[in-house]
Amino acid sequence: MKYTWQVARESMRIFPPIFGSFRKAIDDIEYDGYTIPRGWKVLWTTYGTHYDEEYFQDPLSFNPGRFEESVQPYAFLPFGGGPRLCAGYQLAKLNILVFVHYVVTRYNWSLVTPEEPITIDPLPFPSLGMPIKIYPKLA
């Protein structure tokens, strides 16, 4: 399941399920010559680091093997990070791995509309809901 998780992570790197989230500055913060005053909200975004060459070489390529190496803290953020990290992270990981395992090993499936357009609003999703044909593999 190691490679399956690498594929899932790479999918969430390229198309993160959330755009980002907010944090509130509990003190004045100096960052890159700017002051973020106490009480201000800061928006962190997944795309900010997921598509940054500094953290992911050749970021537009789908390359699950990149997760063989460890990733810098707070660079890969589909589940957020820090004290408010997604509380369901481990459950989501388990569900993804079990789902992909059974779909791949027990079923044959294909896309009904292989050229289905992807709509961005604000996150990408298949415009027709990605209908598939699926049937159990014969033993």
Cβ at position 137, least distance to ligand HEM in Å: 26
- Taking residues 39 to 78 in sequence order and writing x for each that binds ligand HEM by CB under 6 A, - otherwise, the string is ---------------------------------------x
Taking alpha carbons only, the member of 66, 84, 97, 69 closest to residue 21 is 84
Identify the residue among 43, 87, 104, 134 touching ligand HEM (CB under 6 A).
Answer: 87
Taking alpha carbons only, the member of 25, 28, 30, 29 closest to residue 41 is 25
Angstrom CA distances, 47 to 14, 40, 55, stand at 8, 21, 12
> Using an 8 Å Cβ cutoff, are 57 and 51 in contact?
no
Taking alpha carbons only, the member of 112, 89, 105, 111 closest to residue 137 is 105
Cβ at position 70, least distance to ligand HEM in Å: 19
Q: Which residues contact 90 (CB under 8 A, 6 or more apart)?
A: none
The reply to whether 86 sits in an annotated binding site is yes
Task: Kindly state the helix (H) or strand (E) to which residue 93 belongs, with its residue range.
Answer: helix 89-106
- Closer residue to ligand HEM in complex, CB, 26/139: 26
Q: Which stretch binds ligand HEM (CB under 6 A): 28-36, 84-92, 112-120, 126-134?
A: 84-92
- Closer residue to ligand HEM in complex, CB, 4/21: 21
Identify the residue among 1, 29, 42, 85 touching ligand HEM (CB under 6 A).
Answer: 85
Known binding positions for heme: 86
Residues that bind ligand HEM (CB under 6 A): 17-18, 21, 78-82, 84-88, 91-92
